[in-house]
Chains A and B, each alone.
Chain A
Amino acid sequence: MITPVPARLPRFDRLERYAHWATATLMLILLFTGFSMYAGPLSQLVGRRLLMRTVHLYAGLLLPIPVLVAIALRAGGPLREDLGRLNRWTRDDRAWWSKRRRGTAQLGKFNPGQKLNATFIGASMVVMLMSGLILKWYNPFSDSWRQGATFVHDWFAIGLLFAIIGHITLAFRDPDALNGMVHGWVKPGWARAHRPRWYAEVTGSDDGATDAVGNVGARAAEHEPESGLSTREVTVVDPVHGGAGDGIGEREL
């Protein structure tokens, strides 16, 4: 270890956080106005259908804007990079789903639950926009398509409700992780324990991986000096834990 580890590891830059919270605000407005128009008990409590409908329409049209703008901006580099990470599933991500192997999974910046959540919410935004446009500007569409659009809008709304309740619940259960999206940084200890591969990447050290699963890291470390095996060859030797080896020195992820 040559470079000292800073007390705060930068996780999400300002633009990513703006994009997240703008999307989150719009999403909550959409959930509230949407369910107050259709969920029996809530709609009886709230009423004001014309107002709800107008707010829902504009919030819906605005929803994709913050993320799309942030992606398009020159400063959107970190966001674009993170979207790339959310897209890619490594062997460790797959190991994470198994209870038995979860402890050995060397995760990168995001865990597979976060990846799935982001993917689902992103895709749902497209689907909701698509079906919502059919519901609003229905003239060119047949009744069957309009009913289909209602059906899709209903069920994706229920899916989104559960995904977002889950997302918020998990965020509150892990204040260290939440801090990353609120203030932009996380504690190094959290990163080392939960995102060892990302920790290694941002600190430029490989002890994150070693600490998290000492024996795996140690094994990789043992091999290197004496046999000169590259980390990729370690991967071949140990298909499950090998993932720990192949990302260690890798910065470009």
Chain B
Amino acid sequence: MTDERGTPVGRRVFLGLVGLGAAGVVVGARVQNWLEQVVAPIEAKDFTGLTSLLPFGNYRFYSITGSFPQRARDKYTLQVNGLVEKPFTISYQELTAMPAVKVERDFQCVTGWRVPNQHWTGVQLSRLLDRAGVKPAAKALRFVSFDGEYTESLTLAQARRPDVMVAYELEGKPLSSEHGGPARLYVAPMYGYKSCKWLQTIELTAEVEPGYWEQNGYDVDGWVGRSNGRDDAPT
């Protein structure tokens, strides 16, 4: 009878696939790292951009609103206000004319992906703060994106770090809209969600006001490797 009914291949394939999935969870991290080393050189030479659709070490673009916000560089302005002596608004040209810093780090997302050795260029946030003159009552910063929704926060001490900047170049190229251009916040030692894209306003506040993802469960102090239950290598 068994022979006439056929063999239970379906069950074997089913269990095999489930087993493959379980094994993938356990060893997937190692397989992925290996694959990324193999694919990176191919991707660098790929003119079609097809390999960038594969889930390997590249950026994944998250937007909390509809399509990605667009703003031309000559229309872009950045405001610094709140608890400051001299609130100001500067254009893209004025921002990029200020003394620049460069930082090279891995970019780590809290959802797990990491892009190695990214070169950022921008203006140190502390330089902008000095220009506005921070009042003693100010203890924190609130960042607002021109996407109309996203907000972020830092303490004043975090914002004063030398590796925190308003970035306008990535890998030597002007920051594209996907990456948060014309200019965005870049907080090198923290997970990507702290680096508010499409930066429009920097407001000095008396206390930390948790940002968008923080109101949805992420840690306010988003240090890479020391928050959100993760232990990635620090950036």
Contact = CB atoms under 8 A, between A and B. Distances in A.
Our verdict on whether A and B bind, yes or no, reads yes
Interface string B58-97: 0111111111100000000000000000000000000000
Nearest to B114: A147
B67 A87 contact: no
Contacts of B63: 43-44, 47-49
A126 interface: yes
Interface stretch (A16-24, A88-96, A188-196, A217-225): A88-96
Interface string A40-72: 110111111110000000000000000000000
Contacts of A10: none
B4 A40 contact: no
A210 interface: no
Contact of A123 (B5, B18, B26, B65): B18
Contacts of A131: 21, 24-25
Interface residues of A, number: 56
B38 interface: no
Given A120-B13, A120-B17, A146-B112, A151 B32 contact: yes
B231 A143 contact: yes
A72 to B, nearest CB: 19
Contact of A89 (B7, B55, B60): B7
B21 A127 contact: yes
A50 B193 CA distance: 13
Interface string A111-140: 000011011101110110011001000110
Interface string B27-55: 11111100000000000000000001101
B22 interface: yes
A149 B15 CA distance: 18
A172 interface: no
Contacts of A37: 62
A163 B35 CA distance: 23
What are the nearest 3 A-B pairs in CB distance? A148-B28, A127-B21, A151-B28
9 contacts: A43-B60, A50-B216, A119-B17, A123-B17, A143-B230, A143-B231, A144-B29, A146-B112, A150-B28
Interface of A: 37-41, 43-50, 86-91, 93, 115-116, 118-120, 122-124, 126-127, 130-131, 134, 138-139, 142-152, 154-156, 158, 232, 235, 246-247, 250, 253
Interface of B: 4-11, 13-18, 20-22, 24-32, 52-53, 55, 59-68, 111-113, 178, 216, 229-232
Given A127-B17, A150-B112, 14 more contacts: A47-B67, A87-B8, A89-B6, A89-B8, A120-B13, A120-B17, A127-B21, A134-B25, A143-B232, A148-B29, A151-B31, A154-B55, A247-B4, A253-B5
